[in-house]
Amino acid sequence: MRGPHNIIRLIRTGATLERTGAMNVVLDAFDAGPLLRVTFRTIVWPFQWLGYKGDVTMPPATRALTALGPAYIKFGQVLSTRPDVVGDELAVQLRVLQDKLPPFSMKEAEREVKRELGQSVQELFSSFSEPVAAASLAQVHKAHLVESGDAVAVKILRPGIEKAFRKDIDAFYFAARAIELLSPASRRLRPMDVIEHFEGVVMGELDLRLESSAASEFASNTEKDEGFDVPNVRWHLSGRRVMTLDWAEGIGIGDNDALDAAGHDRRALAARVLQMFLNHALRDGYFHGDMHQGNLKVAQNGDIIAYDFGIMGRIDEYTRRVYAEILFGFIRKDYQRVAEVHFEAGYVPSNQDVDEFARALRAVGEPIFGMDASRISMARLLSYLFEVTERFGMETRTELILLQRTMVVVEGVARSLDPHMNIWQVSRPTVERYITESIGPKALLKDLGKTVMILSRFGPQLPAMAEAALIRANNPPPPPKPQRRKARAAWFALGAVVSAAAVLGIQQLV
């Protein structure tokens, strides 16, 4: 319940933010006004002693969230994908949140396996290791199957995590409502919508059947991609709270010394990481939304292995074409076309000047393209681009937020492997291929074929539909009488008043 009892939980949260020095960071990120700042400080300051101290070696925001526990860590991870809400600086801080939490006991892990799969660990696995990783939602064990001896990774949700998250999410809703009430300026950031988005992400990750499905779809899409691998799901050993995948053996892609010692070509790996991501986003419209170093390994044969599919991104075909044209326009320095694409897609209001927008984009692109290859930054380009589009009245495109964030993360992974990689040269072949296939003559024929196929489904109904349209055209309905319109308006007004009263009554009860 999202009632006043959440105040106690929020006081401890605020005390931890104050004690760790994160309070100012959070209030600045949400553009909190003077009233909200004074209110929070007045409430929280006397209770600082209730706050957790946290790890003093961490930046303030990450220090506070890790001290507060799994729900707050996950919230920070989700906010790291929303630089439009918290700003670029805080988003970068939140990306480095540590997910190495204390594991739960082996006895609890075995109990969860038995409850979910209906058989004991000893019946299913010939070996079952201590946790090899423990995150905010789950932990992972390495095991070997009794039936075949194959090595697998068994992911198990933390016991009681659903109930714990529900309590914290309720407190988050209460806080968001208070922020909107006390700080009108923060409403443009839609705090309630942010919490709703967070709730959707977490609830999805708390059902490992959905992650298993995501892994299976991703593996199917990428099975023909050379040099890229996704572990197979063992469906008969997976359920809502337990997921089993083939074990991915390899070197962490962030361990450059180990990669060099094993003889891997880091320049080739850097190019492949970036090109694979662009392939998945543009070709498939379905991409790994959390491709940081911790979720990528390099196999002995040089293949890149991806795992942890709790956050996946999906973009429709039209958005993919728009995104590809924007990228390709920047690659070719065709700023006029980049501007036109923004207007054609409705990303920038039509009352703005397309030529002025093109000039602004040139001011964004030219300084970056004039830099040494090792200093060209996709993150900087996207940051500048969003500044310009904000100035021209462009609204936040929620479908591009995760894509933008993931591309920045992938760029960071690639540059950690090859600091001098020119991302534009590496990206160009992949983007050009997609442009040719999706926007050229071949794509036009493909689109026409789809249109004909859709129309053919309605073939038997076309005569009746045409007849009905002609009848309606020849016999237009009489316009509604003024009294009828007034009556409808009165009923709508009455309904709105009753609904509002009901909502307020329910809120008072809650």
The answer to whether 30 and 191 have CB atoms below 8 angstroms apart is yes
- Residue 336 burial (C-beta neighbours within 10 Å; 0-12, 13-18, 19+): middle
C-alpha to C-alpha distance for 37 and 49, rounded to whole angstroms? 19
Question: Residue 253: what residue type?
Answer: I
Just list the catalytic residues. Answer: 290
> Do the strands 312-314 and 228-229 form a parallel or antiparallel pair, or are they unpaired?
unpaired
The C-alpha atoms of residue 9 and residue 90 are separated, in whole angstroms, by 24
Largest Cα separation within the chain, whole Å, is 85
Instruction: Specify the DSSP element, H or E, that contains 133.
Output: strand 125-134
Residue 297's SS3 state is: strand
Cβ–Cβ under 8 Å, residues 72 and 99: no
Q: Which residue has the tokens 């237009």?
A: 476
For residue 286, what is the DSSP state?
E
- The DSSP call for residue 126 is E
Residue 279's Cβ-side half-sphere holds a number of Cα atoms within 13 Å equal to 17
Residue 501: count of CB within 10 angstroms of its CB: 10
Rounded-to-10 torsion of CA 149, 155, 160, 162: -140
Question: Helices 34-44 & 6-20, crossing angle to 10 degrees?
Answer: 100
Sheet containing strand 125-134, edge to edge, reads 125-134, 138-145, 151-157, 242-246
How far is the C-alpha of 288 from the C-alpha of 327, rounded, in Å? 19
Torsion, CA 398, CA 404, CA 406, CA 409, rounded to 10: -140
Phi, psi of 131 (to 5 degrees): -55, 130
Point out which residues pair with 144 in neighbouring strands: 127, 151
Own/partner contacts of 70-73, CB < 8 Å, gap of 24 or more, are 70/101, 70/136, 70/137, 70/158, 70/161, 70/164, 70/165, 71/136, 71/164, 71/165, 71/168, 71/169, 71/202, 72/13, 72/168, 73/97, 73/99, 73/101, 73/136
Residue 260 CB partners (closer than 8 Å, separation 6+): 266
SS3 call for 183: coil
Q: Rounded to 5, what percent of the chain is helix, strand, coil?
A: 65, 10, 25
How many Å apart are CA 278 and CA 466, to the nearest integer? Answer: 44
Supply 315's token pair.
């973009």
Beta-strand runs (E) in 279-416: 286-288, 296-298, 304-306, 312-314
